[in-house]
Amino acid sequence: MAATFPSKQAIVVGGGLAGMTAANTLLEKGANVVVLDKSSFCGGNSSKATSGINGSETRTQKQKGIKDTNDIFYSDTMSGGAKKPEIARVLVWESGPAVDWLMDKFNLDLSLVARLGGHSMERTHRGKERFPGMTITYALIQMVEKISEHSGGQVARIVTKARAEQLICQKNVVIGVKYTKGGQSYSEFGPVILASGGVGGDFTQNSFLAQYRPDLMHLPP
């Protein structure tokens, strides 16, 4: 099967906060989405986060009189060791709209703001829940699940226990991804967004973690 571009369907590899943010954004723009996650359930490392989500010039900050700015957040980010200013700028200038989007789109409570390490201003947002990472991530997962259920899987699908194995290319253009599930190989076609995180979650014997930091292999994923 060949992919026709522009494609109606996009594939997101990774079902954590980054992947579910990408999936929900695609759905907002009218695309169909397939989310692939190697685990038996989505959530990723973000679901374990206990601090909150950072954002500058947010609505909550303004309501509380916190005079944070993107420039201050950018300065903190670069002082903290960031090496790529162009990426830091995207991170910072999109952070406020992202926090407001989470509140507006998913009705999340991010009304508590704290100053954590590395920050010169109060900008870490959370609600009253004990595990804000889980609350935020699961809200995004549930939205995709809801759309999947209402569309009978035609608009959105989440495929768990699916390990992405290979990008499908046509004349040096990525047109899809091959993945395995239950010992079988499958293919999905369309643009691919890789949101599978870093190497820290790969505990296989041939992983980068095993090669370069074997002392961390005993830690829980």
Give me the helices (H) in the chain, please: 17-28, 59-63, 70-79, 85-93, 95-106, 132-150, 208-212
pLDDT single digits (tens) 89-115: 999 999 999 999 999 999 999 999 999
When the pLDDT of each residue in the chain is averaged and rounded to a whole number, the result is 92
Instruction: Give the tokens for residue 114.
Output: 């704290």
Q: Which two tokens stand for residue 197?
A: 């995180």
CB atoms within 10 A of CB 45: 16
pLDDT tens-digit profile of 111-122? Answer: 999 999 999 999
CB neighbour burial string for 55-73, b if at least 16 within 10 angstroms, e if fewer = bbbbbbbeeeebebebebb
Q: Using CB atoms within 10 A of its CB, is residue 54 exposed (0-12), middle (13-18) or buried (19+)? A: buried
Which one-letter amino acid corresponds to residue 27?
L
pLDDT digits (tens, 9 = 90+) for 35-88: 999 999 999 888 888 899 999 999 999 999 999 999 999 999 999 999 999 999
pLDDT in tens, 145-196: 999 999 999 999 999 999 999 999 998 899 999 999 999 999 999 999 999 8
Residues 70, 90: Cα–Cα separation, whole Å: 10
Give the confidence band of 2 by pLDDT, cuts at 50, 70, 90: very low
Question: Do the Cβ atoms of 127 and 109 come closer than 8 Å?
Answer: yes
pLDDT digits (tens, 9 = 90+) for 5-19: 668 899 999 999 999
Q: If pLDDT is split at 50, 70 and 90, which confidence band does 199 have?
A: low
Mean per-residue pLDDT for 121-135? Answer: 94
